[in-house]
Structure 1
């Protein structure tokens, strides 16, 4: 659904996401047992207040329909969902962290963990929120969360965000060596002793046309190449945590073989990287028009980096100028329009054009892509429910400016009050538990 117009007049919900660094550090404070719970179809469990549902209406060959729950594409869906989850699990804050639809329960003993899990399940049951059993991990000694593997004693970064760099093969020809050093050289002002480390590669790439046949690979070049890769994937150039004080920047590019993207932040005038991504494009995608492939590169990076960028302010940098207005105006291309619709739920501040010569690393990564098994733009729609009523926590996720003024003038709240405890208990519900704590046993 195209909600560009609705998003434009909707008052932004500024409810913050949890601080990623603080979340990880808290989970690493010596806890022995971890449980990771995942909600079933996340935002589709949150109802919209009845008077706002008409704003989500859409036309189909079978008639006019409207959403009763938060749809994907509304700019307030992520912060509204975080607000609901934080409120629902407010009483579990001492042993539970909530990051959108990911819930992590942590304890220092097994018996304590059972008590904590029971409390969390009771809160979810009380608010009629369903879990997805296939994506839940119960009472583990380690857990993957927000790009890290966490155990009782260690916090280890996952390699997902740097695999695109780690898997870059060593250049074997003069042409490959020139391209690799050119891509990395953009960061020379941010990397100490860059010229010194890269000297062995420069020595064999700065050859005149008549002397190019003298190019030879040596151990010094190999060592320099791997040292430069290490610099790209470690601090200070690579940041481990996001800072929400300023927008994050996503730069993307494509080639005839694949797509590449780098997620970045500027700190005191210096560029720091957060995530690298590259992947091959399939046979059908190679036949896409240039504008379609550039749009595909943007979407694939968003899809892979979702946990880093959902709910945060983003600036997209692309070297394809026609895409700069894809979030504001309708583009007469079905594939590009499809990508624009998928990106509606993200807080995209602007899409800006940069010249190709300033987009070095994404360009290089797109020419050295990593094979991926993922399907293109493929995710499930709809929600299978086993309950007689929706969750009890409803939100005003699509309050428009005119609606807010009207409510203010009539002394009404723009966001409805949550139902009282008595309302929750009196409502009839059919709860189908997915887990039985008594069946768990310590291994």
Structure 2
């Protein structure tokens, strides 16, 4: 008999010891109800084994491990990456349970009836300890799969939220597709396991009446597995998937990034005017400024051929109200160098207005809006290098924007 430690449910174990008693029971004259139970168990065991041996599950698991391994250093502390590691832990525990081996062993015990003569009416079925062991593993696997599906949903939502920041777009898209496929595949495995539990429980009742030999004496197997699994089980099969893409506007972002030139909307001057009006309105609404301290100078030297519009000199020293309050004034030589580099630009009114807006930005929220306007202008003028440079500056400004919003 398997002893149950206090405070630990038997279905919550990773490894359950096998029974040392006989594995099969021979029934000389089985009735029709027993034959129906045996046929249903054999059919469901084949379906569950086929689902667990699906090559798509192995392929998706390999992709999951590869994504976690290749992005461990740079994404080790990101919430989507940590949530994805919990998904991997659930899969490892499910594999250590050896559920597939137990169900396959149960199917092999039924196959001994095929070797008997045709005139023999005796039926060989698994003993009560073997059936109870498989039932216990099914209960534990169903609980674990519910936890796994919940981790997939959390990873999906966190990844979509991170995708809205326009960082690691390709990686986040891979993670979203990965957890979505895993959720769908293992939802089918959960449905197969619950379908196997019902005929196997009826078979247990038949065996316990013929030859009682209980293995888990301190545990009562539930007659309805849906009630045992509780509310999470009903939520998985009844609720709709969260529409996070539509709520967060990520679809609009992806369309801008991945549409072809023929499909993408054409850039026009109205877009710049719309963003400029939004930035001006935000500038009016700002009343209190937060001192974020002295900005760190970027000593990295950029070597590139001279282009029409050089914005890098304007991003090295940003004059906003916070730096003025702390009396951090740059030297006259640096100001002259900045003015000299700014004169290398085209001298167009639009370029000069960008320079003035960068210098007059009073918060990182306003600075992000101005940089986004400049990026659109650079793309319209086919200045790819400057647009890429401003894109990196926009990422840094967005991160500092969140810090500024928290009052740090």
Q: More helix per residue: 1 or 2? A: 2
Give the TM-score of the pair, scaled to structure 1: 0.22
Structure with a larger share of its residues in strand: 1
TM normalised by structure 2 equals 0.24
Q: Greater relative contact order (Cα 8 A, min sep 6): structure 1 or 2?
A: 1
Give the structure with higher Rg (CA). 2
